[in-house]
Amino acid sequence: MVLLLGVVVVELVAGRRDVLRALQAVSDPVWWALGLAAVVDLASMVAYAVMQRRLLLGSGAPATAARRWPMTSLAFEAHSLSISLPGGPVFSTAHNFARMTAHGAPRPIATWVIAVSGVLSSAALALVGAAAGVWTGARGDLGHLLTAAGVFVVVVVAARLLGARRAWASTAHDVTTAALARLSGRRPRTGAALHRVHEGVHGLAAVRVRPSTWVWAGAGALANWVLDAAALWLCCTAAGIEGLRPEHVLLAYTAAMAAASFPLVPAGLGVVDAALTVGLVTAGATPGEALAADVLYRAVSLGVVGGSGWALWVLHRQRRPASPGIA
């Protein structure tokens, strides 16, 4: 522990000029850019809510389960749980499922929407990252872009093909149900457990989604990442960084978000910041400027967006103390 503290002190002394520049930029930012960054980052979460709402409506959930304001509030709350708590994605998923089903979404549909939201979001980030690579002129990233776009299309086409084979799915359901009925006669407990699993799988397979739903959901997933990246670019402006090209900032952003996909600590503290700072320095910022931009971006993404989610969570608990979700 003493050795670690010694290393930190040495690094701070060696980089004191960069730290002082970062503190100066953070204490006196370009306020209009910082305020606009907060608005844009809030809009990115609204885009994520649009994606989930469209998936709910398109998969056959009742309209009462996908009302605009409750779904927007849920997106903010689940995001805050995910980035704030140890093992946050687990709590976020449980909260999403509990609230969706409480609002009237059937359990199989809620499960399907949560799973597909994650897949679409990951595919959209890969697509944005590959596009940023191509934009910067990296030839190898053209293949990555085509691969990411291919994955995006395959996910949609596979879902469509599975949804089209209703006769096959119905036959398989009938055969399996008959087999489980015979098993239940000999081993009731085992048969009942397997029957519940089978019904859950059948419910997932029964989800039917129109092409327009995929268009809206895909657009929401892409807008979520692009708007968040735009908030980072505005934070760079707020930190006084000049001359950064948008494509380089976008590339640094996608690298940092890829690092955040390994939730070792809440909000990827340290891991994301290191990736983001290095990416911005590579893009042309000084270490002090990159550190200031990172601090401002985290203040917006964790303080404003994350804080809004926690405020909505508290408000929901006060209005409905007995409602499902994370207590």
pLDDT along the chain (327 residues), means of 10: 44 55 73 96 97 91 89 94 87 92 90 90 88 71 52 55 50 47 51 42 55 89 96 94 89 88 75 89 89 93 95 86 50
Here the tokens at position 155 are 């996910």
Here the tokens at position 174 are 């009938």
pLDDT value for 108: 87
Residue 318: exposed, middle, or buried by beta-carbon count in 10 A (0-12, 13-18, 19+)? Answer: exposed
Which residues are CB-neighbours of 287 under 8 A, at least 6 positions away? Answer: 15, 18, 277, 281
How many domains does the chain contain in total? 1
Q: Give a yes or no: residue 261 inside a domain.
A: yes
Q: Give a yes or no: residue 6 inside a domain.
A: no
Separation CA 199–CA 176 (nearest Å)? 10
pLDDT value for 267: 75
pLDDT value for 6: 47
Q: Give a yes or no: residue 2 inside a domain.
A: no
Q: Which residue has the tokens 């979404």?
A: 105
Separation CA 173–CA 198 (nearest Å)? 8
Question: In which domain, by residue range, is 310 found?
Answer: 31-319
Q: Give a yes or no: residue 75 inside a domain.
A: yes
What does the buried/exposed string (b/e) look like for 90-104 if buried means 16 or more CB atoms within 10 Å of the residue's CB?
Answer: ebbbbbbbbbbbebb
Indicate the pTM of the whole model.
0.77
Which residues are CB-neighbours of 319 under 8 A, at least 6 positions away? Answer: none
pLDDT value for 196: 45
Q: Is the alpha carbon torsion for 317, 320, 324, 327 positive or negative?
A: positive
Q: How many CA atoms lie within 13 A of 95 on its CB side?
A: 26
Which residues are CB-neighbours of 76 under 8 A, at least 6 positions away? Answer: 45, 49, 305, 308, 309, 312
Q: Give a yes or no: residue 9 inside a domain.
A: no
Q: Give a yes or no: residue 86 inside a domain.
A: yes
Q: Give a yes or no: residue 250 inside a domain.
A: yes
Q: Give a yes or no: residue 96 inside a domain.
A: yes
